[in-house]
């Protein structure tokens, strides 16, 4: 069973890297958002340092949603999903493997790019550290919550925007606690650990509930 | 092993495709499902595969670990080939071999069997329709499953490949396997029963599996 899980993980990673896979697309989008922001806000370094973490997080949130609409839809269109739903490996773990592959291909590059892009927004070293840590813990939550929208997009076919509309409200708690945790690095009465632990909890819950909900959606919508 | 189907009915939208369908399929036999377009051949196979719910009726695979839920004992080959165009033929096949479990032939052997030897390194995107279909048939050979559900298995295959496929299917049946194949082309799959869904429109729901 773990062999099948790893095989699926490997295939999805390979597809993401190959031409047309779109693994780098998220980082490019992230870069675009972060580079454009200082031009819009102006050369106020203090202001940039204060709102920088929020901008980086919004960029990462939107970049994480890229490609989610095709996650199950591509497998549904070429018949792979039919074969996959008849395996010993339950659909929940198939969804989890696809989610993990998607996070490694799109979420992890965002985490790695974030410290570099933080420099463009005049973030302090402490803020950069806090931000990178919250992205590392928080982006899996977005991807795994996104699995639910991805499963519906497979059923409704052309569901590109649908994923964002369905998933965005679910990710708001993640955004709130991630930005709050990053903000504590700039001072304040709340220690970093308090919002960060809630963020970690949200992430763990999403990793369990996302694949289960996605599998239920795939089962309910197949004809 | 025995596939038992009782009182099966299938509804697509408002239309009843068939009802009261019942048959037994013993180990070592094939069932050829025929009928005009739109009589429910593909729908029947999807129901047997557990991919859609029947409107009524029950099915079970006697002799399986879980007779009521036996999707793991099935190879389902639908209209779609389930390949990724960006991956090579070999990568596609070894992925399915790892996914399906209970391995039978190796990837290389299966490619030889369907006449794709030497083409394993090519991306599926550049294969012809017939070669893609052959690759899909090779999936049946890399993992062990007692029941094969085949939807138009010979689409796009040339005459030689059709004969080759029929020989592979007969070998599966001889080993005690079972096949349910929906087809328009005449197929010799060894000892087989016939089921004509065209003759079973709901107006005349007579139980008829002609031996």
Residue of B nearest to A14 (CA): B87
pLDDT single digits (tens) B26-74: 999 999 999 998 889 999 999 999 999 899 999 999 888 888 888 889 9
Q: Which residues of A touch B50 (CB under 8 A)?
A: 86
Q: Pick from B66, B99, B133 the residue to mutate for testing the A interface (most A CBs within 10 Å).
A: B99
Q: Which residues of B touch A86 (CB under 8 A)?
A: 49-51, 71-72, 74, 76
pLDDT, residue A110, reads: 95
Residue A14's closest CA among B94, B7, B138, B126?
B94
Q: Judge contact between A56 and A131, C-beta under 8 A.
A: yes
pLDDT, residue B205, reads: 42
Quick one: DSSP state of residue B199?
G
Asked if B51's CB is within 8 angstroms of A82's CB, the reply is yes
pLDDT single digits (tens) A84-108: 999 989 999 999 999 999 999 999 9
- Please state, rounded to an integer, the average pLDDT across all residues of chain B: 89
Mean pLDDT by 10 residues, chain A (223 residues): 92 86 84 92 89 93 90 92 92 96 94 93 92 96 95 82 88 96 86 94 97 94 79
Dihedral of CA atoms A68, A162, B53, B185 in degrees, nearest 10, equals -70
If phi > 0 it is left, if psi is from -120 to 50 it is alpha, else beta; for residue A50 that is alpha
ipTM of the complex: 0.88
Chain B positions contacting chain A at CB under 8 Å are: 49-52, 71-72, 74, 76, 78-84, 86-87, 91, 95-96, 98-101, 139
Of B50, B78, B99, nearest to A84 by CB-CB distance is B99
Which pTM does this prediction carry?
A: 0.91
| Rounded CA separation B102/B97 (Å) | 8
| Rounded CA separation B76/B180 (Å) | 10
Helices B129-142 and B159-174, axial angle in degrees (round to 10): 10
| Beta carbons within 8 Å of A155's beta carbon, 6+ residues apart | A76, A217, A218, A221, A222
Quick one: DSSP state of residue A86?
T
Q: Which residues of B touch A83 (CB under 8 A)?
A: 76, 82, 96, 99-100, 139
Looking at the DSSP bridge assignments, the partners of residue B60 are B4
Asked if A78's CB is within 8 angstroms of B81's CB, the reply is yes
Of B78, B86, B87, nearest to A82 by CB-CB distance is B78
Residue A23's closest CA among A121, A129, A86, A112?
A112
Residue of B nearest to A79 (CA): B82
> Would you call A165 exposed, middle or buried from its count of C-beta atoms within 10 A (0-12, 13-18, 19+)?
exposed
């Amino acid at each position: 069973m773990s062999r099948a899980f790893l095989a699926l993980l490997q295939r999805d990673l390979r597809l993401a890297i190959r031409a047309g896979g779109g693994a780098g697309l998220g980082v490019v989008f992230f870069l675009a958002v972060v580079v454009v922001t200082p031009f819009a806000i102006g050369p106020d370094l203090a202001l940039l340092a204060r709102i920088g973490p929020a901008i980086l997080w919004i960029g990462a949130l939107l970049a994480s949603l890229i490609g989610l609409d095709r996650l199950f839809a591509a497998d549904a269109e070429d018949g792979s999903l039919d074969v996959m739903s008849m395996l010993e490996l339950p659909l929940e773990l198939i969804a989890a493997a696809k989610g993990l592959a998607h996070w490694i291909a799109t979420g992890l590059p965002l985490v790695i790019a974030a410290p570099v892009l933080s420099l463009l927004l005049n973030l302090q070293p402490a803020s950069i550290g806090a931000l990178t840590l919250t992205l590392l813990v928080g982006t899996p939550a977005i991807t795994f919550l996104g699995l639910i929208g991805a499963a519906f997009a497979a059923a409704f076919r052309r569901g590109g925007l649908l994923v964002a509309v369905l998933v965005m409200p679910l990710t708001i708690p993640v955004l709130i606690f991630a930005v709050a945790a990053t903000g504590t690095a700039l001072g304040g009465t709340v220690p970093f650990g308090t919002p960060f632990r809630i963020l970690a909890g949200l992430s763990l819950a999403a990793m369990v509930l996302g694949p289960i909900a996605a599998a239920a959606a795939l089962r309910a919508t197949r004809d | 092993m025995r596939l038992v189907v009782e009182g099966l009915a299938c509804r697509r939208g408002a239309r009843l495709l068939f009802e009261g369908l019942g048959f037994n399929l013993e180990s070592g036999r094939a069932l050829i499902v025929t009928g005009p377009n739109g009589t429910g051949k593909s729908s029947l196979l999807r129901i047997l595969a557990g991919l859609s719910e029947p409107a009524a009726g029950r099915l079970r695979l006697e002799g399986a670990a879980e007779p009521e839920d036996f999707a793991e004992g099935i190879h389902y080959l639908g209209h779609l080939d389930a390949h990724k165009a960006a991956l090579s033929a070999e990568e596609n096949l070894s992925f399915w071999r790892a996914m399906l479990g209970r391995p039978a032939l190796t990837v290389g052997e299966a490619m030889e069997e369907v006449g794709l030897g030497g083409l394993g390194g090519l991306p599926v995107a550049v294969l012809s329709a017939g070669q893609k279909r052959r690759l899909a048939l090779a999936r049946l050979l890399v993992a062990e499953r007692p029941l094969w559900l085949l939807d138009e298995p010979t689409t796009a295959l040339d005459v030689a490949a059709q004969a080759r496929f029929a020989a592979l299917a007969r070998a599966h049946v001889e080993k005690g396997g079972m096949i349910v194949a929906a087809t328009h082309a005449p197929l010799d799959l060894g000892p087989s029963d016939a089921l004509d869904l065209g003759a079973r429109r709901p107006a005349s729901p007579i139980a008829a599996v002609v031996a």
